[in-house]
C-alpha cells in the first residue's frame, strides 16, 4: 500500500483581501519527487512555508507523514529536511563549523554525519572555507547539506538548484534521485529550471495565480507533450501534397520544413520515409521533436497560444 507522506487539503492562504493560494489539495507518496512549477509570484514559496509550518493557512490542512503540521508535534521535524529561498549560514564559520552547529541542533553525534554529507554534496574540498567566501553554488550546496544531514524521510526544497553550475545541477539531481528511488525519501521541490524538473520528478503540479491548474505523473506529462515530425525534401510542395493525399495532417512551416502532426507518422517515421522514397521525393531530413517542459508549461498557463494541435 502506498503511503502518503505530504498532503494538503483545500489549502487556502489570504493576505488581507488577496487570495494567494486557493483550495490546493495534493498528495505526495513515499519515494516520489513532486515538482512544483509556477511563474514568479504564483505561490510556490507560500506553499512551502505552509508545508513547513512557518506560516498558518487561512483555511485547510497540511499533513506531513499523516500528522497535522499545526498540531505542534516537535518529533515531526526530526524526519523533515528543508531548504527555503537563499540558505542562511554563519558567514565567519567554515562549512564544517556550520554543519557542526546543525548537528548540535539536531542532536547528532560524531563526525560521520558531517563527513558523509560533505562527500554526498562534493563539498569536502571546501570544508575549511568560511561560508562568506563560498560561491553562490557552493553556498546553495551547504544549504542542501544542512537539509540532508539528519537523513530525513521528507525533503522540502525551494529552488534547490539556484546558482548551481551544470555539473552541480547534475550532482544534485543524481543525489535527489538516489535518495528518492533507493532510500524512499519523499521530495517536494519547486524550481524555475523546467528542463531540470522534467529530468528529475515523478509527478508535477503546475500552480498559477494561487491555483493548482494541473497535477500529473511524469509519464502522463510525457504523453501530454506535443510531438511533431519534421520532414525536409527537395520538392517540398509535392511531398506535402503526397502526404496529405495519404491522409496525414501536414503543413508547410515557416522554417521551410513540413510539419507532420499525425500520431502514426510520429510513431513510424520510417513509413513516411518509405512513402516519400517510393513517390520519388526522398527526404533529406526526418526528425521527431518533442515539446519542451518550458513550452508545455507556458501553454498550460495560457501564455503561449496557437500551438495546440
Ligand atoms: N507576507 C505577505 N504579505 C502579502 N503578500 C504576500 C506575502 N507573502 C507573499 N505574498 C504574495 O503572495 C504571492 C505569492 O508569493 P510567493 O512568494 O509564494 O510566490 P512564488 O511562486 O514563490 O514566486 P517566486 O518564484 O517569485 O519566488 C505574491 O504575489 C506575493 O506578493
If you measure from the C-alpha of residue 84 to the centroid of ligand 1, how many angstroms do you get, rounded to a whole number?
13
What pLDDT was estimated at residue 10? 95
Atom of ligand 1 nearest to the CA of 207: 21
Among 8, 24, 35, 42, name the best residue to mutate to test ligand 1's pocket (greatest count of ligand atoms within 8 A of Cβ): 42
The C-alpha atoms of residue 25 and residue 11 are separated, in whole angstroms, by 6
Nearest protein Cα to ligand 1, atom 13: 41
What pLDDT was estimated at residue 226? 85
Nearest protein Cα to ligand 1, atom 7: 15
If you measure from the C-alpha of residue 46 to the centroid of ligand 1, how many angstroms do you get, rounded to a whole number?
6
What pLDDT was estimated at residue 115? 96
What pLDDT was estimated at residue 195? 74
What pLDDT was estimated at residue 203? 93
Which residue has 551547504 as its cell numbers?
142
- Cα angle at 263 between 258 and 267, to 5 degrees? 90
- Cα angle at 140 between 136 and 144, to 5 degrees? 170
Other C-beta atoms closer than 10 Å to the C-beta of 42 total 22
Residuewise pLDDT in 10s, the chain (309 residues) = 679 999 999 999 999 999 999 999 999 999 999 999 888 888 899 999 999 998 999 999 999 999 998 767 778 888 999 998 777 889 999 999 999 999 999 899 889 999 999 999 899 999 999 999 998 888 989 999 999 999 999 999 998 888 888 888 888 899 899 999 999 999 999 987 777 788 889 999 988 889 998 888 888 887 888 889 999 999 999 999 999 999 999 999 998 999 999 989 999 999 999 999 999 999 999 999 988 878 888 888 876 544 433
If you measure from the C-alpha of residue 89 to the centroid of ligand 1, how many angstroms do you get, rounded to a whole number?
23
Nearest protein Cα to ligand 1, atom 31: 41
Nearest protein Cα to ligand 1, atom 2: 15
Nearest protein Cα to ligand 1, atom 1: 15
* Element of type H or E holding 23: strand 18-29
- Non-local (6+) Cβ contacts of 178 within 8 A are none
Residues with CB under 6 A from ligand 1: 15, 20, 38, 40-46
Burial of 227 from C-beta contacts in 10 A (0-12 / 13-18 / 19+): middle
If you measure from the C-alpha of residue 207 to the centroid of ligand 1, how many angstroms do you get, rounded to a whole number?
12
> pTM for the whole thing?
0.82
If you measure from the C-alpha of residue 162 to the centroid of ligand 1, how many angstroms do you get, rounded to a whole number?
18
What is the complex's ipTM, to 2 decimals?
Answer: 0.94
DSSP string, 144-210: HHHHHTT--SEEEEESTTTT--HHHHHHHHHHHHHHHHHH--EEEEE-S-HHHHHHH-SEEEEEETT
Q: Parallel, antiparallel, or unpaired: how do β-strands 80-83 and 154-158 relate?
A: parallel
If you measure from the C-alpha of residue 95 to the centroid of ligand 1, how many angstroms do you get, rounded to a whole number?
30
CA atoms within 13 A on the CB side of 111: 7
What pLDDT was estimated at residue 85? 74
Atom of ligand 1 nearest to the CA of 13: 12
How far separated are the first and last CA of the chain, in Å rounded? 38
Amino acid at each position: 500500500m502506498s503511503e502518503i507522506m505530504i498532503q494538503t487539503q483545500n489549502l487556502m492562504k489570504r493576505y488581507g483581501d488577496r487570495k494567494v493560494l486557493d483550495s490546493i489539495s495534493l498528495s505526495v507518496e513515499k519515494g516520489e519527487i513532486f515538482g512544483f512549477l509556477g511563474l514568479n509570484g504564483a505561490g510556490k514559496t507560500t506553499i512551502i512555508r505552509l508545508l513547513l509550518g512557518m506560516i498558518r493557512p487561512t483555511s485547510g490542512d497540511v499533513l506531513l507523514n499523516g500528522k497535522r503540521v499545526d498540531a505542534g508535534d516537535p518529533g515531526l521535524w526530526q524526519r523533515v529536511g528543508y531548504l527555503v529561498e537563499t540558505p542562511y549560514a554563519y558567514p565567519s564559520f567554515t562549512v564544517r563549523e556550520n554543519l557542526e552547529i546543525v548537528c548540535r541542533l539536531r542532536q547528532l553525534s560524531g563526525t560521520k554525519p558531517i563527513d558523509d554529507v560533505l562527500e554526498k554534496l562534493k563539498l569536502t574540498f571546501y570544508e575549511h572555507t568560511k561560508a562568506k567566501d563560498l560561491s553562490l553554488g557552493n553556498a546553495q550546496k551547504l544549504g542542501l547539506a544542512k537539509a540532508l544531514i539528519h537523513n530525513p524521510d521528507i525533503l522540502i526544497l525551494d529552488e534547490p538548484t539556484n546558482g548551481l553550475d551544470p555539473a552541480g545541477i547534475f550532482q544534485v539531481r543524481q543525489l535527489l534521485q538516489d535518495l528518492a528511488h533507493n532510500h524512499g525519501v519523499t521530495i517536494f521541490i519547486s524550481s524555475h529550471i523546467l528542463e531540470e524538473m522534467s529530468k528529475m520528478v515523478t509527478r508535477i503540479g503546475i500552480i498559477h495565480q494561487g491555483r493548482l491548474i494541473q497535477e500529473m505523473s511524469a509519464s502522463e506529462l510525457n504523453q501530454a507533450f506535443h510531438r511533431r515530425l519534421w520532414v525536409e525534401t527537395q520538392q517540398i510542395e509535392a511531398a506535402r501534397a503526397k502526404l496529405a493525399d495519404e491522409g496525414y495532417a501536414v503543413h508547410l512551416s515557416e522554417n521551410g520544413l513540413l510539419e507532420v502532426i499525425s500520431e502514426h507518422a510520429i510513431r513510424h517515421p520510417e513509413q513516411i520515409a518509405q512513402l516519400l522514397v517510393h513517390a520519388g521525393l526522398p527526404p533529406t531530413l526526418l526528425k521527431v521533436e518533442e515539446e519542451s517542459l518550458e513550452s508545455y508549461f507556458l501553454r498550460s498557463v495560457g501564455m503561449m497560444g496557437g500551438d495546440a494541435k
